[in-house]
Structure 1
Amino acid sequence: MERNDGFQLSRRKALAALGGVGVASAGAGLGTSAYFSDEESFENNSLSAGELDLKVDWQQTYNGPIPNGDGEVGEHPVNAYPDTAVDGQSYGDGLQDLDGVRYSGAGELDPVFDAADVPACCDCAEDEYYVTYGGESYCVSAISGDESTDEFYDYDTGEWSSLNDDIQRRNTTVLFLYEDDEGDIHLFIINNELDNTRSSDNGFVASVTVEGAEGSQWLNAAWIDQDEPGTDIDAYQDANGSNVATADWAWQNRKTDGGVLGTLDEDFALRVTPALNNAATYDGNSVFQDQTDIERLVLLDGDTSTEVVLEDTVGTDGDLDPIVIHSSCGIDSGAELDTPAVFRSQNYPDQEHLVELDDVKPGDTGEITFSLHLCDNPGYVWFMAGNFSQDGGTLTEPERVAMNESDPGSVTESDDTGTLADYVDVTLWYDDDCDNTYDEEMETPIFEGTLAGLMDELGVAEGADEESDDFSGMLGLDADPNDGDDVECFPAQEGFCIGFEWEVSTEVGNVIQGDSVGFDLGFYTEQCRHNDGSGPDGNGTN
């Protein structure tokens, strides 16, 4: 898909389909009324074509005049996608979020999740939650009940355990979302089974850390503490304004332990990191050894009988991947985007293109962090540019002097073809932490130079195909840029960020007065399988 709107999202689907049904049978008979027979059948066979879909979202900032800021100059958001509409408008505040959960690297607070974590590729139903664990993804539903969380957990002080055996599993840590009788959502975590005859004499230990995205309202959530001996549960807000809740559980043999976190906001994102067996702590200290009692990690889906087994063998070390839960997921791309409205924000309510700034001065800077998500299959990815053009605009007297100080009167309108791109410094880099800032010591540059130099690097000639929808230049990206010369494919279902920063040189004078530059940016992908990364023209770069 391509659009001639200053920004393009491209994708290529490689499809192959084949289907067939086979039936084999044999029979033999002797006599007139008796026979032998046999039939082997293979029914409902199918092969489905795979998909390759590249989804791109972004956060753009500008360090320059703030719209309606009474002349104030500073860094502020220009636009972002996704960006939830606010105040009944068709646009948002310019900071990247999905239904209120913040993913932007811009702004005053750092969210727990970044743009690479935007759940771009899923298609969960409206009443489902998107869960990822260990490279796999699931759409799950909350368990709906007509009881409060206390009643559903059914904690008994005499047993020091939950009496709801439907949510218990032997030697297992169980997690699920529960919608109570008031319609509020809670996160349940329960360990082991009451009267578990398989338990060792050592008892059990488990810990968990739950992080929530800034912008979600679950900072008001608290553990419903079952308040039994040997339990250390804490909920707090960490230093950067994001939300963290922790729990350390130690309990006796043949008992259960756990807790309930809530109420969660209607829109939320959580990172739940279990630490079981030897990885468990108590009050932040590692005090347990040779604990192997927790064997499985299970997520309940929609009811107490439907299990999603995340780990079937936990192991002694018990150090597990995070479980990430998003209340919303899925973004549009390409032709599905609502353009030009997608480029608008509170600061720029009339913008119709990705980059559209008309009063840029020397010293002004801007940045776009694109986050890319390959859905379904891994792929090679290229950065693209095209439709590069410059315009000299109105020729002013100061510009005449700058162009020919000794004889400014000899400079004519035809001489002023525009040179702004030669004075715009550009950095293109792998933004590993998606924070809209280039870290020269930690992050890898893709290109450093001028905007004109970038176009030259890509082989994009000024003025070529100016009215075309085609990109004429491509620059190959590498999933592992610091590992030798071979170009690595980008994995499916994992996001990554590319930063594009520009700055008008403070050393330039009047020579750029009134000049403008136009260009298209985009990305292109091809499936990894059956390709070598050389690109559509075979050289891997242009």
Structure 2
Amino acid sequence: MSQDTNDTIGLSRRKVLAGLGAVGVASAGAGLGTTAYFNDTEAFEGNTLTAGELDLKLDYKSTYLGGPGRLEHVQSMGYPDAEDLGDGRYLLDQAPSPADMQAWEDLVQGEEFDFCSPEADEFLVNGDGIPVFTLDDVKPGDSGEVTISVHICDNPAFLYLAGELTENAENGQSEPEMEQEGEDTDGIGELADAIEVCVWYDEDCDNVYEPTGTGQQNELEVALVSDVSGSMGGGKIAALKTSATSFVDNLSSPDEAAAISFASSANVDQELTTDYQAVKDAIDAYNASGGTSIAAGVSAGENELLNGTNATMGASKVMIVLSDGQSNASAAIAAADAAKANGIRIFTIALGAGAATGLLEDIATSPDDAFVAPDAADLDTVYAEIAQVVLAGEQKIFEGSMADFFGTFLADGHALDGDRQEEGRQPYPGATTQCIGFEWTLPAEVENEVQTDSVEFDIGLYAEQSRHNDNPQVTFNGTEANSTSPGPAPNGTGNVSGQN
């Protein structure tokens, strides 16, 4: 720590007063012929250095698929506020609890709640590990899921997934179990080998693994809105045809596509359909001529996605807008804002040096959804990148047995990627909110060998600053750093609870 701020850069109060005293003496003696020199002093005062903050905070929502009619039993296992979600699924707990009529996933991804504020700590996991699952009487066919929402306050950090299987107990043998597997000789149960685990980047924090990229496991409807103005002639229109039709080749039923072109006005060249060849034929027929009205193209795309003959209510709506020229900015932005307000996600592609790159970024749903193709030859790559985002879905981190997950996969921790759309591993941005999904399932085909068995395990996250850290560590001891963990533990039929 520094001394009193009056000592800054050597200008103490005593020195300043002494200087004033010297001026007084010089002034008093001026009549005696003493010379006074002009002088001036400047100083940088009040300098401070404050250490930054790296605080990992978690919140979560956990559910349990345990069969219908068991709400009271679930509540008796330590979940007094559990809710019946229908179809045998129960909401076990969530932190923080959103206000009435607001979904948890909307709260954790919204801006209304400041997760990094000290006041938020009472609602979050921040320092004290807690059990998320404390379940007994688990039967084949049961499953549980927890989505962990990650908040890094407030500096970027590399994130690691950590965990340990702390118990895999036999707990004696029932008669059916002994008949199935023979007499136990080591006290080690079979439950960890039988339970299947899936871990993924839960992009929309909704507790559901969605490998299809459609947002809510529903069909996708995509409008390919393409500039066919005069400036698109030659190699540009040819590259557009090749790249856009390749994008269509990635689609599969029930996903639908529409082809819309615009120049001075817009045309719906092929309405939404699963006849992908018809969409490609419409694109292949494009010719370049006329001016550029992005607003007309966006409005036509919105109308087709929302009101077209084959438009489906509840489908995920996506628009891909390509342009190589300038357009009326206010009209284009107004049209895009209307489409986005109606739930349409807009991707944009700025083609060539003459494209209105800034305008197209404003039109896109987010800056990450705005792409640039410097040359027509780059279009194929850009459309492929958008296909990855739109169609590839949520990325799986692990799938396998619980024994393999904790015993092998997490033996040295697993490095998580803060931006799956960028090449290479990226840190998680400061003040970010992203979600990790963790699901366990005891398959219905499992037989008597797991009777009375139980497991306990810990799972958590470890954060490490990214600044000046070009080579983040691969292995670590999460207990000696800033790690925060909710400790899920799905149990067998014995009396076992999760611990952390």
Class of the TM-score when normalised by the shorter of the 2 chains: 0.3 to 0.5
TM-score normalised by L of structure 1: 0.44
Higher helix proportion (structure 1 or 2): 2
Higher strand proportion (structure 1 or 2): 1
TM-score normalised by L of structure 2: 0.48
**Which of 1 and 2 has greater Rg?**
2
Task: Tell which has more relative contact order, 1 or 2 (C-alpha 8 A, sep 6+).
Answer: 2
